[in-house]
Amino acid sequence: MSEKTHRRGFVEKTAWTAASLAAGMGIPAAAATYQDGGDPSAGAATAALPRGKIKNLEVSRLLLGGNLLTHYTHSRDLRYVYSLAREYNTDDKILQTLAVAEANGINTLIIHYVPHAIELLQEHRRRGGKMQWITCTAHAMVSGGLDAFKQQIDSLVAAGTNALYISGIEGDHACGFVNDVSGPEAEQRVGAPRTELLAQALEYAKQSGLPVGIGGHRMGVVEDCEKAGLDNDFYMVTFHHHKYPTAKLNFDSRWCALPEELAALMRNVRKPWIAFKVMAAGAIPPQNAFR
């Protein structure tokens, strides 16, 4: 190159390109050009999306997932994809993503506890964003027990989360499901359910006064919690079909072993259900996944 690309010029060109691209996609320009100090909702007519309620929290029925924002890509053995996601999802790009989502009617994000990611969510709010957060620990109960879980719950509440949930890995392990979630023995228990541990975690989290859910990657988690009569406000359980080439790869490629059975079970559960991994971490196109 004959001349250096200065940061200001790069930002200006990138913002213009983002706005042009967004216009072609039907994304409000104010969201596409979201920059330092700007209001992410300024000049953008927020699109309407259907909403539901979890306790007293009004939630858009399409949510923003947090894994890619924390660079957790489920890219199997394609290790370079993790680095690619990290390089692409800079702080500025994450803030722009939040603004675009909010401008298109998504009012809630789900994410696990990563301190820097939480700081970015707080920055989004400082700039005028109103995105709600449903958060969980970084699987603290599995690695550090109930005390570690409580510490991270306290941090999330202090940071400004709108709802909490026991993570899917925590829910799985407490119910005896420790086999590889993508493997052929995903639904086989290794140990007896410890729903009393979930009850203790749930009781502590509910002291915050926020809605509190229980997550899982196996339908047995829901069955155990319902049988034990746990007082959770919602479930967050993986749900997707198997009509994609790598569904039976048995390695970081499937997160819902029994979709038909799970659907039948959830029809009789009266608590709200947030289905996640609906696109099987990007393996299923959205038009196919959601219909």
Q: How many CA atoms lie within 13 A of 147 on its CB side?
A: 1
What is the model's pLDDT at position 46?
Answer: 63
In a domain, 76, yes or no: yes
Supply the CATH number for residue 171's domain: 3.20.20.100
Give the residues across from 136 on adjacent strands: 112
In a domain, 29, yes or no: no
In a domain, 38, yes or no: no
CA 186 to chain centre: 21
Tell me the three-class secondary structure of 70-105, residue by residue: HCCCCCCCCCHHHHHHHHHCCHHHHHHHHHHHHHCC
Tell me the percentage of the chain whose pLDDT exceeds 90: 77
Domain count along the chain: 1
Here the tokens at position 106 are: 């998504």
> Is residue 202 a contact partner of residue 212, using CB atoms and an 8 Å limit?
yes
For the segment 142-189, what is each residue's pLDDT rounded down to a tens digit? 999 999 999 999 999 999 999 999 999 999 999 999 999 999 999 999
Confidence bin at 30 (pLDDT 50/70/90): very low
In a domain, 246, yes or no: yes
What is the model's pLDDT at position 41?
Answer: 53
What is the model's pLDDT at position 68?
Answer: 84
In a domain, 153, yes or no: yes
- Report the chain's mean pLDDT, rounded to a whole number: 88
What is the model's pLDDT at position 18?
Answer: 38
What is the model's pLDDT at position 77?
Answer: 83
Domain span including residue 179:
53-290
Separation CA 248–CA 254 (nearest Å): 7
For the segment 200-225, what is each residue's pLDDT rounded down to a tens digit? 999 999 999 999 999 999 999 999 99
In a domain, 18, yes or no: no
> Is residue 190 a contact partner of residue 204, using CB atoms and an 8 Å limit?
no
Confidence bin at 39 (pLDDT 50/70/90): low
Here the tokens at position 139 are: 């699987």
In a domain, 42, yes or no: no
